[in-house]
Amino acid sequence: MLTVDWKTANPDAVRTFKAFLDAHADWFSSAPKAADSPLTVRRLTVCLSGEEGAKAAYDALVPPGGTYRAFRDRVYGAGLPLFDDVKS
């Protein structure tokens, strides 16, 4: 597991990071951006935490049907509304 704790939402930084992941696709776990998205496990699974803008920018760079090579966290608490059902 590799956790990337974003401190910036700079679009150039996010694009460069995604380009690195795509250039080394065989290193990173992946899943398609689709309703049915099975995880293909590889050497490293990348978890994105920190700046919400960076996580949203990464998500926007992956087109429908494209491939995620990094996965955003979901924050519970920290002043945010709690989810009644953690499955949602």
Judged against a pLDDT cut of 70, whether residue 87 lies above it is answered with no
pLDDT at position 54 is 94
> Is residue 1 scored above 70 in pLDDT?
yes
Write the CA distances from 58 to 8, 29, 39, 64, integer angstroms: 12, 16, 18, 13
Q: Dump pLDDT digits (tens) for 34-84.
A: 999 899 999 999 999 999 999 999 999 999 999 999 999 876 665 555 555
pTM: 0.81
